[in-house]
Copies of this chain bind each other. A is one copy, B any other.
Amino acid sequence: MAIGMYSASVPVYQRQLGALSRVLDKGSAWAAAKKVDEGVLGATRLIPDMFPLTRQVQLACRFAEESTSRLAGLEAPKAPENAEKTLGELRTRVAAVLDHLKTFKPDQINGSEGREIVLNIAGSPLKLSGEQYLEHFAMANFYFHCTTAYAILRQCGVEIGKRDFIGGL
């Protein structure tokens, strides 16, 4: 009895990115009600030397897309860096990642727990197993950026709660 690398990755990213997209929807509704430019909301940060909302969402997308591709032994799709400015554009980016995640068959990712994944950490290579990479690097980073995106909108005053963050169980 055990769990597969597919179910430990793809459905987690799908639920969480689906929730993120609905959180961004609520952000757009808030911006419209307050007559706030979505580009201004997208550029909002918790503190000046942290990334803005746009980049938090883009990084969540990148960790989901890159980790599943690497575990499957494929090249990750190359999304343009930092292209989105509005929350609508961010939702389009999230939707593209969700479409990409649908293309994976369980067999492509199952069995990748022992696959060697080499990270480049500040110029030095770090070798991880597929399992370590998914659980200790990709998921930790993915949740970090999803939560920070949520926190930025929450701090702006968008009415979202933990259930919006988690999404549909």
Binding site for B on A (CB under 8 A): 1-5, 7-8, 11-12, 15-16, 46-47, 50, 110-111, 113-114, 119, 121, 126, 128, 131-132, 135-137, 139-141, 143-144, 147-148, 150-151, 154-155, 157, 162, 165-166, 169
| Shortest beta-carbon contacts, A-B, top 3 | A143-B143, A2-B2, A147-B147
Set B3, B139, B155, B166: member contacting A137, Cβ < 8 A: B166
CA distance A121 to B114 in the complex (A): 37
Q: Give the distance to chain B from A133, nearest Cβ to Cβ, in Å.
A: 9
CA distance A166 to B143 in the complex (A): 11
Q: Could you say which residues of chain B place their CB within 8 Å of the CB of A4?
A: 2-3
